[in-house]
Structure 1
Amino acid sequence: MTNLSSPAPLDGWTHIYSGKVRDLYAPADGSDDYLLVVASNRVSAFDHVLEPPIPGKGALLTALSNWWFERIALPNHLVSEQGSAPAVPGEVRDRAMLTRKLEMHPVECVVRGALTGSGFAEYQRTGAVCGIELPAGLEDGDELETPIYTPAYKAPLGEHDENITFEQSVELVGEEVATALRDASLQIFTAARELAASRGVVLADTKFEFGNDPRTGELVLADEVLTSDSSRYWDAAAYHDETLSRADRLASFDKQIVRNWLASHWDRTGEPPVLPDDIVAQTYARYRELYVRLTGGEPPYAPVAV
């Protein structure tokens, strides 16, 4: 990942890590119980962080994660009472999560309810995804009768995650933990897919991350959950409309607008071009539409004017 600059300092917190979108902070006093997870407005594509960011994206993703956390009947990493943690700074309050510090598992827990993306590419080559044999003749975007769990190994920073089989995940974390990760992921996905369907949205696939609470050993859901950046959502009406092109049927509620524009305006050499204002606005509008469709409420940031 290139073009990733250090975020601004936060009072009471020390920056310890930055990913594509999120910045992590630990308490500046050295205590080891909490983390502050801040969702930035950064947008990335083709291994580059792009300019400008998408105003309001971080707050929207955080609000959507929090909405889902409230509806998932499994322990999560959010801290409801501040306790001895430093105060969450006002400048990031709408896009920050105060969390417990966990012992994270090196497995990205991917669940697929439809065959697309890297899963479809692997299926075309092998007839299977992460060792799971699938029926012949499936096409890009086809829903699967039963969701499948296709884990990935979380690669070190700067490297790409690697799809693995369930058996390989057992080698990484042991059979008991691997089974718990799979079962929890499928449980969450199944319930979330039903809820999304009731709102006219297809949840095609998603990824979860889990850790263990070092004090209790409890398995805990962490990171973001079921957001536009961690999940692929399609409009149900468009998806089932056979008169539309496959691209229109599978138009996702995420940064695909950015990818499409960049692919047609950049040959992937040198620095990527600056995103036009209308692409920034359209991208935010797509994120916002999913939030409104799922939650029925307004996001915590006014939409960007086109």
Structure 2
Amino acid sequence: MTATALVETHLPLPLLRRGKVRDVYEVDAERLLLVTTDRISAFDVVMNEAIPYKGAVLTQLTAWWLAQLTETIAHHLITADTDAIIREVPELAPYREALAGRSMLTLRADVVPIECVIRGYITGSAWKEYQTSGTLAGEALAPALRESDRLLPPIFSPATKAETGHDENITIATVIERVGAETAATLERLARTIYEFGRDVAAPRGIIVADTKFEFGWRDGSLLLIDEVLTPDSSRFWPADGYAPGRGQPSFDKQPLRDWLDAERRAGRWNGDAPAPTLPPEVIRATSLRYRDAFARLTGAPLDLVALGLAADS
């Protein structure tokens, strides 16, 4: 693979924060620059290696969804076009290679500190809690659910935002305490609207959106959809043709990485803590291909590496 994965950026703008995946810069009082790197984590451990094209997939897929949602949901994206970003912020011209395909110029917003999760199927942390107590965030669910069962209707399952480690599931009552009843109701309505749209788009493309999470921010008295939208990092995408409740499902995301790390733990070669083991090239490549497969299935076209200014596979 001739592509070089981007681990970290150093741009001539004030760095606001460096998250698990994104480097966020201040352009001015009204705008931010979000650069999605190729960093990847699994089991709460950041890998030493990065995944080529992962950042471009997350950025371009978010831009694709937002273009379709513009008439429905107000959002923060100004442009994800690298040339347009450099025209707006000329001092970034020498950094075109780092920005190519993976950067978004956005409106600035005051982030609501709630992850707005919609669960259409019971899996992940929800399944773990349900197995123990029959609840989700302490609230009872229907009896006799199996792993990966569909939830009808989908459940609004908010969580706290965490920069490291897992987000914590919380009740809607807790959300109301933190942001007020009116805002809590609006967050749920918006999250359900976007999830239902994404679910209906993905279904004929052979993808189940098992669950997903959204973030919102206040700007000029209105809530904007911010950050990434319906990507393999913010959602669980399952292949519909292999769906079978009663077990876990394969995902269009970092599944090859998770599988390899699981094998390393079972073999006693990794204890599950940092530092992570060195990833073999075949795992890096398989994970990169899995992300791009999700992009192609959802959008109907492969990620155009040449148009984005990215190096192609060898």
TM-score by length of 2: 0.86
The answer to whether the Cα contact below 8 Å between 2:59 and 2:104 also exists between their aligned partners in 1 is yes
Q: Name the residue aligned to 1:107.
A: 114
Aligned 1:65-214 pairs, distance under 5 A: 65-72=62-69, 73-80=72-79, 86-87=89-90, 89-91=95-97, 92-155=99-162, 157-158=163-164, 160-213=166-219
Go from structure 1 to structure 2 and tell me whether the alpha carbon gap of 1:273 and 1:77 turns closer, same or farther (over 3 Å shift): same
Go from structure 1 to structure 2 and tell me whether the alpha carbon gap of 1:84 and 1:8 turns closer, same or farther (over 3 Å shift): closer
Q: Name the residue aligned to 1:295.
A: 299
Cα distance in 2 for partners of 1:54, 1:269 equals 20
Q: Name the residue aligned to 1:17.
A: 17
Cα distance in 2 for partners of 1:269, 1:236 equals 33
Matched, 1:48 2:51: no
Cα distance in 2 for partners of 1:300, 1:59 equals 10
Structure 1 residue 270, shift from structure 2 partner: 5.3
Cα distance in 1 for partners of 2:76, 2:119 equals 24
Specify the SS of the correspondent of 2:106. strand
Q: Name the residue aligned to 1:246.
A: 247
User: Which of 32, 37, 47 does residue 34 from structure 2 map onto?
Assistant: 37
Give the AA of the match of 2:10.
Answer: P
Specify the SS of the correspondent of 2:101. helix
The answer to whether the Cα contact below 8 Å between 1:41 and 1:57 also exists between their aligned partners in 2 is yes
Q: Name the residue aligned to 1:26.
A: 26
Q: Name the residue aligned to 2:55.
A: 58
Cα distance in 2 for partners of 1:284, 1:7 equals 18
Structure 1 residue 288, shift from structure 2 partner: 1.1
Cα distance in 1 for partners of 2:8, 2:50 equals 13
Instruction: Report runs of 4+ in structure 1 exceeding 6 Å deviation.
Output: 81-84
Specify the SS of the correspondent of 1:192. helix
Give the AA of the match of 2:242.
Answer: A
User: Which of 220, 223, 241 does residue 224 from structure 2 map onto?
Assistant: 220
The answer to whether the Cα contact below 8 Å between 2:7 and 2:50 also exists between their aligned partners in 1 is no
Unaligned runs of 5+ in 1: none
Cα distance in 1 for partners of 2:261, 2:238 equals 21
Cα distance in 2 for partners of 1:100, 1:177 equals 20
Go from structure 1 to structure 2 and tell me whether the alpha carbon gap of 1:131 and 1:270 turns closer, same or farther (over 3 Å shift): closer
The answer to whether the Cα contact below 8 Å between 2:118 and 2:155 also exists between their aligned partners in 1 is yes
The answer to whether the Cα contact below 8 Å between 2:45 and 2:273 also exists between their aligned partners in 1 is no
Identity value in percent: 42
Structure 1 residue 47, shift from structure 2 partner: 2.4
Structure 1 residue 159, shift from structure 2 partner: 5.3
Matched, 1:272 2:273: no
Cα distance in 2 for partners of 1:239, 1:177 equals 35
Unaligned runs of 5+ in 2: 1-5, 265-269, 306-310
Structure 1 residue 303, shift from structure 2 partner: 6.7
Cα distance in 2 for partners of 1:35, 1:102 equals 9
Cα distance in 2 for partners of 1:290, 1:166 equals 31
Give the AA of the match of 2:26.
Answer: A
Structure 1 residue 199, shift from structure 2 partner: 0.8
Specify the SS of the correspondent of 2:14. strand
Go from structure 1 to structure 2 and tell me whether the alpha carbon gap of 1:191 and 1:41 turns closer, same or farther (over 3 Å shift): same
Cα distance in 1 for partners of 2:67, 2:157 equals 25
Give the AA of the match of 1:262.
Answer: L
Go from structure 1 to structure 2 and tell me whether the alpha carbon gap of 1:258 and 1:303 turns closer, same or farther (over 3 Å shift): farther
Q: Give RMSD over aligned pairs.
A: 2.2
Cα distance in 1 for partners of 2:169, 2:242 equals 30
Structure 1 residue 128, shift from structure 2 partner: 2.1
- Structure having the higher helix fraction is 2
Give the AA of the match of 2:11.
Answer: L
